[in-house]
Copies of this chain bind each other. A is one copy, B any other.
Amino acid sequence: MSDSRVMRRGEERWEGVEPRAYKDVPGSHRDVVRHLLMGGELDAPELPFEVRAFQVEPGGFTSRERHAHPHAVVVLSGRGSVELGDGEDRRTAELASLDAVWVAPWEVHRFRADDDEPLTFLCVVPRDRDRPRLVGVGEGKEGA
């Protein structure tokens, strides 16, 4: 695998880590940038997970989606919320630094930054995973 490395966090970004587009579906999300910190093509194919960091600008949100793989999320800084579930199960939890969220397989979810603060969170996923399916409000069950 690749050599050991330290990725320093600068004022707004990790040094040497190029921000990537979050998703290619316009309109499903707002003001989200993705960073691949560890895993994927950076490290070895035998590493069974990827560690990504997402920065959501104030008022921004990730796409509302569901998929077979789970998410292991830990908030790094800022404030926001996570919306989980669909229909009658739909609920929202406020999030602040160091809060952790386990998003179970197939659970509909969306992360939001507060209107006046950004939200930065880590999201660990299995290396081998399915593609997310976008979900409109109220159609999570039908999208299964």
Q: Which of B3, B37, B72 contacts A74 (CB 8 A)?
A: B37
Main secondary structure of the interface of A (DSSP, over half): strand
Give the interface size bracket for A toward B. Answer: 35 or more
Q: Does A4 lie within 8 Å of B104, measured CB to CB? A: yes
Q: Closest residue of chain B to A97, judged by CB?
A: B9
A116 in the interface (beta carbon within 8 A): no
Q: Mark A105-140, 1 if CB is under 8 A from B, else 0.
A: 101010000000000101010110000000000000
Q: Does A7 lie within 8 Å of B100, measured CB to CB? A: yes
Q: Report if A4-B84 is in contact (Cβ < 8 Å); known contacts: A76-B76, A100-B14, A102-B43.
A: yes
Q: Which residues on the B side are within 8 Å of A33 (C-beta)?
A: none
Q: Does B107 lie within 8 Å of A4, measured CB to CB? A: yes
Q: Which of A25-78 contact B (CB under 8 A)?
A: 37-39, 43, 47-49, 51, 53, 70, 72, 74, 76-77
Q: Which residues on the B side are within 8 Å of A43 (C-beta)?
A: 70, 102
